[in-house]
Chain A
Amino acid sequence: MTTATAPPEEPLSGEANRAAQEPRPWWLGALRWMVEANVAVVTFCAIVFGLFVGAILIVVTTPATLTAWGHIASAPGHSLSVIFSTLGNAFGALFTGSIFSPSAVGHAISTGNGWNTAFTPISETMVSATPLIFAGTGVAIGFSTGVFNIGGQGQLIAGALAATYVGFGVHLPIVPHLILVVLAGAAGGAVAGFIPGILKARTGAHEVIVTIMLNYVFLNLLDYLLVTPPLQQPGQSNAISRTVPASARLPHLFGGGLRVNAGFLIALGVAAAASWFMKRSTLGFEFKVIGSNPSAGRTAGMDARLASVLVLTISGALVGLAGMSTLSGTDFFLSSGYGGNNGFNAITVALLGRNKPIGVVFGSLLFAALSTGGRYLQATTNIPLDLTQVIQAVIVFLVATPALVREIFRLREAGAGKILLFTKGWGS
């Protein structure tokens, strides 16, 4: 249509042509942007759809709504109100548990007290996001290099273990001690990432299998160490580690009332550094070349095997920091199955953030909000926390298939960034 209105004496091409011939108000552009399948809109639609699936699950499984369904023919009004109030309570709990509760904020404003209560939800979301940012960045660096690191759980445990040993085993003033603890966390994760890396480079063992198997190895190793001195808490028969001293704890950012700590800032710093590394540094460039086209990398003299060792080591180090951040930031001791789902959620967060550190930060905050809200949801309405994992999975399904989102929401075609991931066959 643009070419039809273009004056023939001024043949402009492409963008320039469109810009010159179609001066349209900014709000029209904004509207058009909103119905395009671009990255932001696709992500937003994915989140909406994920919450929708969550709503369906609640409606078809919660006892109250199940009884309501039974009476839907006899008393439709009442049944619907029960169903909607259940949903309203659930999503209300997700929101107040993760962002803020209007009543608590109102109370704080009117009385001048209780600010800690008002800020607790958002602080908890930041606390949950901290390990996800570390681990998600680590996994994302692997993804954009063609290395699939599913060993987050194991590397996280390795990092937390190393940080704990340095935490209670070394006696130093707080600043050098904390630096050592952070480095130990990275080193522990790096070792756990180095193993699949070197195995891949030397023997061709595929990292997907090796990293997953290592998860179970580290889970069991942790179980063993937790009941063995010196890690086990003296005088305890439970599988619980010693507690790290105050000098090995990350300081709180806003006083003792809120748990958000320096780990969050370190995580943001690490994400920024990773962003610089992948965009600007020579090594990061080499990684990306090898990831997208190994033979081109080889031709240019890059060592693909060395790269896979380095990538998995770096990726492991970042995931190890995730373990350190929860240990030294909020938990202060280890227990069986440490880290929970953080290692696996790192994968979904990396995908949601499209393997870019800045995207990972936002993805982590979103998933952290979901899980923080989910815990509150479980506490207040008895709906299990696992609901949020389902919602997260649905979101990533859709983010991974923008074409599907476009069809569901009838969006216009646009350059919706497909997730850049260079998976290869099992053999290479």
Chain B
Amino acid sequence: MSVVELAPAPSSFVPAPDERLVSLSRVRGMGAFLLALAVVMAFAFGLGSPPHAKATFLLSAPPAVGVSALVMPVRWVSVSLAVVCAGLGVALLVRTRQRGSYLVFGLGVVVFIWALLAWAARGNSLNFVAMLAETLVSATPLVYGALSGVMCERSGVVNIAIEGQFLAGAFLGAMLGSATGVLWVGVVAGGVAGALFGALLAFLALRYGADQIIVGVVIVAFCTGLTNFLTQQVLTPYQASLNSPSTFSPVGIPLLDKIPILGPVLFFQNVFVYGAAVLLVVVHVALFQTRWGLRTRAVGEHPRAAETVGIHVLSVRYRNVILGGVIAGIGGASFTIGSIGEFSANMTAGLGYVALAAMIFGRWRPFGALGAALLFGFSISMQSFLAVLNVGIPSPFLSMAPYVITIAVVSGLVGRVRAPGADGVPYSRE
């Protein structure tokens, strides 16, 4: 038995012979897209705004040392940013290598967002630091969800039930957090609720070989129905005692939270945000540096080979799926006791699926998922700030943005991804 046996099952991934060509055409596509953005920036944002309008970006938020605001003439800034964006687009168009293209493209998008925000805040002010802090808050449940997905799928089980585990965690977290008055009980309850549905998924999928996607979708339907039912039947009549939890307030990390701009964004958050950061590192290290991680990946890529070297495939999967459920459930609790307190029906609004997309975009790696989660978190945060600024974009289009961006990212940027070799394939010893 050599190490070669652990190589990914070839059936699931056959690299196309023209892979490089496809990538290059994608690079060209990204270049053309940046050029289009530059046109929008120059004409809609630059020439479309009043000649002398100024936009103010506030850069200070409570715990940090104050920084003077950034005041920009909108027209001038937009046009020069458009030139930069066009330059980046041309750079992509004439490239002959794929390497680094995503970085250039990312820069172009950042430049575009800068111009968009300047245009939106014309004659007005926007608290940029608060927006970034809100980005982290919005990204937090997505990080938990994506990490849950990583835990499950790295061991070969598709967990499409994250949305349901979110709902269950949010519900039980709010209810027990409210009933006991101790928020940490709510966190634990969220984890337990998620674990229960993780265990149900594992039980039906691993023991009885039921289709994982079916079970996942039905768990979501079940959790939606059950939480809606219990909300009307139990929470509403006893709203004051069962559905009025307090929430974790932001805690500053001494000294660090005084740093201008970075302080309020990174070091003045609630426990869920810090927890997500710790969990990210833990899962990353565990997955790539420990024996557990090696076993998990082996089971997810080639269970038969793992079994022959003495790894018990099903128990690894059981453990990972249940642990993944705990993580998703805690992420769910952040919807209630981490932000607004009370539970309301369908409050997760499909973010469990967005977390799944973040996991895929992050290529089944914790830090990749973090990047994707921050991107989605930013789009969520930005749309709520734009809605307040009243920029003339109808609010349904703003609410649509995170979902459209998810589609664009999944189809335009990710392309064909390689899932763990045995992802979603039931395993039996035979």
Secondary structure class of chain B's binding surface, majority of residues: helix
A82 to B246, CA, bound (A): 37
Inter-subunit contact A387/B396 (CB<8 Å): no
Set A62, A63, A425: member contacting B424, Cβ < 8 A: A425
Q: Is A17 an interface residue (CB 8 A)?
A: no
Inter-subunit contact A61/B218 (CB<8 Å): no
Inter-subunit contact B350/A404 (CB<8 Å): no
Listed residue (B158, B210, B394, B396) with the most chain A CB atoms within 10 angstroms of its CB: B396
A50 to B221, CA, bound (A): 14
A403 to B210, CA, bound (A): 9
- In the complex, residue of chain B having the shortest beta-carbon distance to the beta carbon of A215: B350
Chain A residues near B229: list those with CB within 8 A.
57, 61, 384, 386-387, 389-390
Listed residue (B12, B233, B414) with the most chain A CB atoms within 10 angstroms of its CB: B233
Chain A residues near B404: list those with CB within 8 A.
213, 217
Q: Is A209 an interface residue (CB 8 A)?
A: yes
A199 to B411, CA, bound (A): 6
Inter-subunit contact B230/A423 (CB<8 Å): no
Set A199, A216, A403: member contacting B209, Cβ < 8 A: A403
Inter-subunit contact A403/B208 (CB<8 Å): yes
A182 to B13, CA, bound (A): 42
Listed residue (A205, A216, A224, A424) with the most chain B CB atoms within 10 angstroms of its CB: A205
Q: Is A392 an interface residue (CB 8 A)?
A: yes
Inter-subunit contact A216/B210 (CB<8 Å): no
Chain B residues near A383: list those with CB within 8 A.
233
Set B222, B228, B415: member contacting A384, Cβ < 8 A: B228
Chain A residues near B222: list those with CB within 8 A.
389-390, 393-394, 397
- In the complex, residue of chain A having the shortest beta-carbon distance to the beta carbon of B160: A208
Listed residue (A215, A387, A389, A393) with the most chain B CB atoms within 10 angstroms of its CB: A393
Set A210, A221, A427: member contacting B410, Cβ < 8 A: A210
Given contacts A206-B360, A389-B228, A427-B13, contact A224 B221 (CB under 8 A): no
A347 to B204, CA, bound (A): 18
Chain B residues near A113: list those with CB within 8 A.
none
Contact residues of A between 330 and 368, Cβ < 8 Å to B: 344, 347-348, 351
Chain B residues near A216: list those with CB within 8 A.
349-350, 399-400, 403
Inter-subunit contact A347/B217 (CB<8 Å): yes
A213 to B353, CA, bound (A): 8
Inter-subunit contact B233/A425 (CB<8 Å): no
Set A199, A351, A425: member contacting B12, Cβ < 8 A: A425
Chain B residues near A85: list those with CB within 8 A.
none
Chain A 176-220 near chain B by CB (<8 Å), digits 1 or 0 = 000000000000000000000001001111101110111111001
- In the complex, residue of chain B having the shortest beta-carbon distance to the beta carbon of A204: B416
- In the complex, residue of chain B having the shortest beta-carbon distance to the beta carbon of A428: B12
Cβ of A50 to closest chain B Cβ, rounded Å: 11
Q: Is B51 an interface residue (CB 8 A)?
A: no
Q: Is B275 an interface residue (CB 8 A)?
A: no
Secondary structure class of chain A's binding surface, majority of residues: helix
Listed residue (B222, B357, B414) with the most chain A CB atoms within 10 angstroms of its CB: B222
Inter-subunit contact B407/A199 (CB<8 Å): yes
A63 to B234, CA, bound (A): 9
Q: Is A268 an interface residue (CB 8 A)?
A: no
Inter-subunit contact A206/B410 (CB<8 Å): yes
Chain A residues near B250: list those with CB within 8 A.
none
Inter-subunit contact B353/A209 (CB<8 Å): yes
Inter-subunit contact A205/B225 (CB<8 Å): no
Range of interface residues on B (Cβ < 8 Å)? 35 or more
- In the complex, residue of chain A having the shortest beta-carbon distance to the beta carbon of B216: A208
Chain A residues near B228: list those with CB within 8 A.
384, 386, 389
Contact residues of B between 399 and 413, Cβ < 8 Å to A: 399-400, 403-404, 406-407, 410-412
Chain B residues near A419: list those with CB within 8 A.
211, 214
Q: Is A148 an interface residue (CB 8 A)?
A: yes
Chain B 70-97 near chain A by CB (<8 Å), digits 1 or 0 = 0000000000000000000000000000
- In the complex, residue of chain B having the shortest beta-carbon distance to the beta carbon of A202: B411
Chain A residues near B387: list those with CB within 8 A.
none
Chain A residues near B411: list those with CB within 8 A.
199, 202-205, 210
Chain B residues near A213: list those with CB within 8 A.
350, 353-354, 357, 403-404, 406-407, 410
Listed residue (B12, B237, B410, B415) with the most chain A CB atoms within 10 angstroms of its CB: B410
Chain A residues near B350: list those with CB within 8 A.
212-213, 215-216
- In the complex, residue of chain B having the shortest beta-carbon distance to the beta carbon of A148: B213
Contact residues of B between 214 and 272, Cβ < 8 Å to A: 214-215, 217-219, 221-222, 224-226, 228-230, 232-234, 237
Inter-subunit contact A209/B215 (CB<8 Å): no
Inter-subunit contact B414/A205 (CB<8 Å): yes
Set A205, A347, A397: member contacting B407, Cβ < 8 A: A205
Q: Is B418 an interface residue (CB 8 A)?
A: yes
A387 to B233, CA, bound (A): 10
Contact residues of B between 309 and 346, Cβ < 8 Å to A: none
Chain A residues near B296: list those with CB within 8 A.
none
Chain A residues near B419: list those with CB within 8 A.
425-427
Q: Is A421 an interface residue (CB 8 A)?
A: yes
Inter-subunit contact B217/A150 (CB<8 Å): yes
Inter-subunit contact B225/A386 (CB<8 Å): yes
Given contacts A61-B234, A384-B232, contact A217 B403 (CB under 8 A): yes
- In the complex, residue of chain A having the shortest beta-carbon distance to the beta carbon of B229: A386
Chain A 284-319 near chain B by CB (<8 Å), digits 1 or 0 = 000000000000000000000000000000000000
Q: Which residues of B contact A (CB under 8 A)?
A: 12-13, 158, 160, 204, 208-215, 217-219, 221-222, 224-226, 228-230, 232-234, 237, 349-350, 353-354, 356-357, 360, 394, 396-397, 399-400, 403-404, 406-407, 410-412, 414-419, 423-424
Closest 9 CB pairs of A and B: A389-B225, A205-B411, A393-B222, A224-B396, A204-B416, A386-B228, A386-B229, A220-B396, A384-B232
Interface pairs (26), CB distance under 8 Å: A57-B226, A61-B233, A202-B411, A204-B411, A205-B414, A208-B353, A210-B410, A212-B350, A213-B354, A213-B404, A216-B349, A347-B217, A351-B218, A387-B225, A389-B222, A389-B225, A400-B215, A400-B218, A401-B210, A404-B210, A419-B211, A421-B214, A423-B212, A425-B12, A425-B424, A427-B13
- Not counting A208-B160, A421-B211, A423-B211, a sample of 5 additional A-B residue pairs whose C-beta atoms are within 8 angstroms of each other reads A210-B407, A384-B233, A404-B210, A427-B419, A428-B12
